Chains A and B, each alone.
Chain A
Amino acid sequence: MENAYIPFPSKVLDVIKHTDIEYTFRLEFTGDVKPGQFFEVSIPKFGEAPISVSGIGDHYVDLTIRRVGVVTNEVFEKYVGDSLLLRGPYGNGFDVDLYNDGETVVVAGGTGVSPVRGVIDALSQSADPQNKYAIVGFRSPEHMLFRDDLKAWDEKMNLILTVDGAEEGYQGNIGLVTKYIPDLPIKDVNTAKAVVVGPPAMMRFSVMGLLEKGFKEENIWVSQERKMCCGLGKCGHCRIGEKYVCIDGPVFNYTESKGLID
């Protein structure tokens, strides 16, 4: 019988440094994978941690990792040529095609940008990028991730880049992502779609803002972050109500997620 807990080694092809504590590791991987899915990344003897896919290529996946715990501290010691152990991909992920037609808004905050990076990328390359919006927020200019992508998105689609706070003299937008929702120039709120990913409070208030603007519940998707020890629907940590975030999610339609109370 197949043992799904056995990880496979994957070579580090590249390391992209965004901030002092946030790096993207490009890892060798061949197989089907979608934005919003995640891998269990492990350093044997230190442990495993669930990390979202932030980029997908023919023979690699990007994992953007913030140095915040035992495992991620060790991951940061790995550089090009070394190997990490992986299991996955797990979770349902985003169905990118769903957001290609008509008006779509992605609201993302902080490391929440990782799981939707592929979605925003696809939207920026869609047939009508003028109907695609991304509101992307970071804590400060120093915390910004994917700077090259942000530049490319800004050229192709409607990007609102904002920071929660910045030192005096900062030229860009300052304010929470929710500040920009009421003024989105949406033509038809009945059909417009929205994807929201970020810290719990940011997601709650962003969804509230979208609903107030007139977005339909069934047109809003969110991605949940929970402690996922196994990724296989066994360990129980990520359960909310009758759902297991690791196998039923992490992407949920809002009609489903609104009934999930931690």
Chain B
Amino acid sequence: MGFVMNKEDFSKTIEKLSKDYRLYAPVLKKGEGRCLDEDIVRYDFVKNADDIELELKSDYSFKEILLPLSETLFYFTENETKVADKDLSDVLVFLRSCDLHGLRRLDDMYLRNGKEKDFFYNRIREHVHFVLIGCTHSYKDCFCVSMGANKIDDGYVFSIEPRDDEFASEIKDDAFTSYFVGQKEDVAVSYVTENETKVNVPDRVPLSIYKSDMWREYDARCIGCGRCTLVCPTCTCFTMQDTFYDAKGKVGERRRVNASCMIDGYTNVAGGGSYRQPKGERMRFKVLHKVNDFKARFGYNMCTGCGRCDAVCPEYISFSTLINKLDAEIKKEAE
């Protein structure tokens, strides 16, 4: 079941939805990119259909709705701790298949790793619903097919994709049917079956690879800026951070902020010790997490093949190339 809408119907549908939901979608930000006059697509709250970017691939993922870059957890006054309030009204998040696959990784970390569910993640997670943006073609740097993240059958309430001058939606959750204005039709969401970029993910990574020379290249090439982990839909690390507002230090807050295993200070322990100083070691830590260590714990690979880290790297380090290099290195060692 689904709907095909012309532009006007689509606008009306979005307008109706925006009355009951906050809509969080990729938005084309003109001139807000890295360099002068460069555009960027990142997530934001929208009210109108025109503001939703359904054509271009987003440079950043949706994850900030669940894991804000900086989130206040508590406010402290002299002897009191108050949990920070949060807008817990329902949200519809527009995302593609790779990112919806990424959500499962976020859930596994925040809801199923360790004994307790993460309170702050869980309280907003319960109010977030997903709209699948169909992929009518593959984009630059995508390797979702190799990672098995090109297609998804559930976890979304309806899909949306542009088709010529029209918009097509497959309805998954009948509760949303009443919002739609347009022609009722059978619609199946589009997905890609082939990417230009392909990777061979090794089945098993031997311990010897941790000590391999292949990582040395990145000691110099990687500058440890952490952009790759910031745009990654599956990176979840955070650091606790306290701050106070006045000189007397009586009032303040505890936050958690995004952290990155690529950035200095990530492993610092009391007394000045740290681990993985060379950038190549950090690269190894990140790469093996994405295609080996996470799988050893949760049973499936972490990387979804969205390719955003390739696009954002200022040193043109390609993650997909790295996976293939890793695979080649393992095969070479096995010989």
Contacts and interface: CB of A to CB of B under 8 A. Distances in A.
Interface of A: 1-7, 42-49, 66, 68-69, 72, 85, 199-200, 225-227, 229-230, 232-237, 239, 241-242, 244, 246-247, 259, 261-262
Judged by DSSP, the binding face of B is mixed
B120 A242 contact: no
A257 to B, nearest CB: 13
Contacts of B110: 234
20 contacts: A6-B74, A7-B81, A42-B254, A43-B242, A44-B76, A45-B244, A45-B249, A46-B242, A49-B270, A68-B270, A225-B269, A232-B115, A232-B116, A233-B115, A234-B113, A234-B118, A236-B237, A236-B259, A237-B267, A259-B207
B116 A244 contact: no
Nearest to B266: A237
Given A45-B251, A262-B285, 14 more contacts: A2-B116, A6-B74, A44-B81, A45-B244, A47-B241, A48-B254, A68-B272, A69-B270, A225-B273, A229-B259, A230-B240, A233-B113, A241-B296, A262-B275
Judged by DSSP, the binding face of A is loop
A199 B13 CA distance: 62
Contacts of B239: 229, 235, 237
A230 B239 CA distance: 8
A44 B242 CA distance: 7
* Complex A-B, nearest 3 residue pairs according to Cβ-Cβ distance, in ascending order: A233-B114, A236-B237, A45-B252
B194 to A, nearest CB: 32
B113 A247 contact: yes
B289 interface: yes
Given A234-B113, A235-B238, A242-B296, A227 B118 contact: no
B122 A1 contact: yes
Contacts of B293: 239, 241-242
B296 A3 contact: no
B127 interface: no
Interface in B224-238: 236-238
Contacts of B281: 262
Contacts of B115: 232-233, 247
B214 to A, nearest CB: 15
A92 to B, nearest CB: 12
